[in-house]
Amino acid sequence: MRNKKAPHISVAIDCIVFGFDGSDMKLLLIQRGFDPERNKWSLMGGYVDEDESVDAASGRILENLTGLSGVYLEQLHTFGSVKRDTNERTISITYFALIDIAKYKQQLSADYHAEWFPVNNIPKLIFDHNEMVEMAKKRLQYKAALHPVVFELLPEKFTLPQIQSMYDAIYEVNFDKRNFSRKLLSTGLLIKLNEKDKMGSKKGAFYYTLDKDKYEENLFKIFSLIITPDHLQF
Amino acid sequence: MRNKKAPHISVAIDCIVFGFDGSDMKLLLIQRGFDPERNKWSLMGGYVDEDESVDAASGRILENLTGLSGVYLEQLHTFGSVKRDTNERTISITYFALIDIAKYKQQLSADYHAEWFPVNNIPKLIFDHNEMVEMAKKRLQYKAALHPVVFELLPEKFTLPQIQSMYDAIYEVNFDKRNFSRKLLSTGLLIKLNEKDKMGSKKGAFYYTLDKDKYEENLFKIFSLIITPDHLQF
DNA sequence: TCAAAAGTGTTCAACGTACACCCATGA
DNA sequence: TCATGGGTGTACGTTGAACACTTTTGA
């Protein structure tokens, strides 16, 4: 009951950071610098301070450990088994972040020892962090099915092959590129630029950019144009 | 960082209980029996014990305050503003429950002072509990769009008008009953019984029951037959 | 007999899916 | 010149949406 004294339980945050590099989905991990479990791979974690909200804590902790700030962060789930942390009773509130790898490349590699791993080849992580990652992958699938959050993973301008690779990676499928581009363009949310990306091919692929105004207005109607429930892993 | 000492933050649970009575969606509330905020309406809450998981705590707290056990409970979100609890720094991990009101009616009214309120007419609640309820309503919409969890709200046998009322209530729309019943029956998941419910009308409506085997098998493919993204409130 | 809710079918437009070839370019 | 990836169109079946009348029966 609320009027009894609260037992002591520590409150931590762990951040699951997804990135997209133009062709693959990646996950950001750090090597733990202290005992226990020193040198094992881990998510970015830390304790919530007494005078900060848990949302604020997630941003602070991510920035401390990776230098990343201003990224899209959303609460995922709170993990609270009794023995999940081998050290002391700790619950962990997890957040996931979506970023465009290229945009933050320099910030990251300069001072921090974080590394990108392909989402389908994650090493063994400390505690229950692998479970957290699995849940985050599923949540991303759900979220992306109904919300255009995934544009957070893309640079300002991007090509159709890039955005399709992103969806292919998130849902672990291969969409038909003819149907995919038709559906995507039919939203009217993409503006074609007079400029090509020549990185990916000799012919080059046209860049597109988000029509921000329409994007705000139509936040709702847009998706599930792309994804049907068949694509979700239950 | 993980190696610093954790500050003291209390960890509480709050449960948002949705019920369906055959025609309306309801929310279960209790009147707080202690200060501060004595006698104000509130969700069912309590502290997590040091030696129990947060999932276990949610079940225990719900049972303590309402007598309900064995109900569908799912974690919703963790609320963690600094001043959300006016008493001491407390984060609240919220869970939502789905129950068939009739099934638990006796359990509830006997010993507990909990009351059902229509979801569209909730009183002012303590702390940030109204916000929690709003989030739970949205989550239920999302969840029900892709998962058949809503059968948790129905009795063993139910009529087509009842299940449609439920969807109408969750999405705050009025589905066309011809289209609705065709879609629902096309899943092949409902078994028509040779028995009618005469409560709702003179003619009576046939009872249906879930084909449990098929239900297990097809957990995934089923929904979004009913709901399209247009129905979601963003 | 009538009021009230249950139950049922058809038509049309929109959408999803499958599928194959040409284009532009740099090496 | 050729290998590589980019870009486009059509045809068909399925699905979603709009729509109105008949049935049953208790009061």
Between strands B90-100 and B10-20, the pairing is parallel
Q: Whole-angstrom Cα distance, residue B205 to residue B198?
A: 7
Query: Is residue B227's pLDDT more than 70?
Result: no
Checking each nucleotide's C1' against the CA of A198, the nearest proves to be C25
pLDDT tens-digit profile of B154-202?
A: 999 999 999 999 988 988 888 899 999 998 888 888 999 999 999 989 9
Q: Whole-angstrom Cα distance, residue A79 to residue A13?
A: 10
Query: Is residue A138's pLDDT more than 50?
Result: yes
What's the confidence (pLDDT) of residue B232?
Answer: 47
Question: Tokens 């149907």 appear where?
Answer: A179
* pLDDT average, residue stretch B134-144: 87
Q: Which nucleotides on strand C sit less than 7 A from a protein beta carbon? A: 3-10, 16-20, 23-27
Instruction: Give the model's confidence band at B217: pLDDT under 50 very low, under 70 low, under 90 confident, else very high.
Output: low
According to DSSP, residue B28 is labeled E
Q: Which nucleotides on strand D sit less than 7 A from a protein beta carbon? A: 3-10, 16-20, 23-27
SS3 track for chain A: CCCCCCCCCEEEEEEEEEEECCCCEEEEEEECCCCCCCCCEECEEEECCCCCCHHHHHHHHHHHHHCCCCCEEEEEEEECCCCCCCCCCEEEEEEEEEEEHHHHHHHHHHHCCEEEEECCCCCCCCCCHHHHHHHHHHHHHHHHHHCHHHHHHCCCEEEHHHHHHHHHHHHCCCCCHHHHHHHHHHCCCEEEEEEEECCCCCCCEEEEEECHHHHHHHCCCCCCCCCCHHHCCC
Query: Is residue B77's pLDDT more than 50?
Result: yes
Q: Whole-angstrom Cα distance, residue A42 to residue A44?
A: 6
Instruction: Give the model's confidence band at B100: pLDDT under 50 very low, under 70 low, under 90 confident, else very high.
Output: very high
Query: Is residue A14's pLDDT more than 80?
Result: yes
Question: Tokens 């959050």 appear where?
Answer: A149
**Cα of A92 to nearest chain B Cα, Å:** 10
What's the confidence (pLDDT) of residue A62?
Answer: 95
Checking each nucleotide's C1' against the CA of B164, the nearest proves to be C6
* pLDDT average, residue stretch A187-212: 92
Instruction: Name the token pair of B188.
Output: 């092949």
> Quick check: B34 and A3 CB within 8 A?
yes
Instruction: Name the token pair of A233.
Output: 């892993």
Query: Is the pLDDT higher at A118 or at A148?
Result: A118
* D20 closest protein residue (CA to C1'): B178
Query: Is residue B35's pLDDT more than 60?
Result: yes
Return mean pLDDT, chain A. 87
What's the confidence (pLDDT) of residue B20?
Answer: 94
Q: How far is CA A67 from the centre of its chain?
A: 16
B179 touches strand D (CB under 7 A): yes
* pLDDT average, residue stretch B90-103: 95
Q: Whole-angstrom Cα distance, residue B127 to residue B64?
A: 21
Which range has the worst mean pLDDT, A80-84, A143-147, B46-50? A143-147
Q: Whole-angstrom Cα distance, residue B16 to residue B96?
A: 5
- Per-position DSSP letters for B69-105, written without gaps between them: -S-EEEEEEEE--TTSSSSS-EEEEEEEEEEEGGGGH
Which range has the worst mean pLDDT, A124-133, B48-57, B69-78, B206-215? B206-215
Beta bridge partner(s), residue A190: A210
What's the confidence (pLDDT) of residue A155?
Answer: 93
Q: Whole-angstrom Cα distance, residue B87 to residue A92?
A: 23
Which range has the worst mean pLDDT, A106-110, A182-186, B209-213? A106-110
Which range has the worst mean pLDDT, A15-29, A69-83, A96-110, B217-231? B217-231
For A112, phi and psi rounded to 5 degrees? -115, 155
Question: Within 13 A of A27's CA, how many CA atoms are on the CB side?
Answer: 26
Q: By CA distance, what is A217's nearest residue in B?
A: B234
Q: Which domains does chain B have, with CATH numbers?
A: 10-146 (3.90.79.10), 156-229 (1.10.10.10)
Tell me, what amino acid is at B172?
E
* pLDDT average, residue stretch B105-123: 84
Checking each nucleotide's C1' against the CA of B228, the nearest proves to be D16
Q: By CA distance, what is A64's nearest residue in B?
A: B1
The fraction of chain B above a pLDDT of 70, given in percent, is 88
Q: Whole-angstrom Cα distance, residue B97 to residue A183?
A: 37
Instruction: Give the model's confidence band at A89: pLDDT under 50 very low, under 70 low, under 90 confident, else very high.
Output: very high
Helix (H, G, I), strand (E, B) or coil at B204: coil
Query: Is the pLDDT higher at A227 or at A118?
Result: A118
Q: Whole-angstrom Cα distance, residue A167 to residue A232?
A: 12
Return mean pLDDT, chain B. 87
Q: A32-36, A153-157, A216-220: which has the highest mean pLDDT?
A: A153-157
Identify the helix (H) or strand (E) that includes residue B13.
strand B10-20
Query: Is the pLDDT higher at A215 or at B45?
Result: B45
Question: Within 13 A of A25's CA, how many CA atoms are on the CB side?
Answer: 27
**Cα of B62 to nearest chain A Cα, Å:** 10
Query: Is residue A109's pLDDT more than 80?
Result: no
Instruction: Name the token pair of A223.
Output: 């998706």
Residue A97 contacts residue A16 (beta carbons within 8 Å): yes
* pLDDT average, residue stretch B13-24: 94
Query: Is residue A220's pLDDT more than 70?
Result: no
Helix (H, G, I), strand (E, B) or coil at B49: coil
Q: Which of residues 149-188 of B touch strand C (CB under 7 A)?
A: 159-161, 177-179, 181-182
Query: Is residue A231's pLDDT more than 70?
Result: no
* pLDDT average, residue stretch A101-121: 84
Q: Whole-angstrom Cα distance, residue B60 to residue B54?
A: 10
Query: Is the pLDDT higher at A181 or at A226?
Result: A181
Query: Is residue B62's pLDDT more than 70?
Result: yes
What's the confidence (pLDDT) of residue B163?
Answer: 92
Size of interface A-B (CB pairs under 8 A): 126
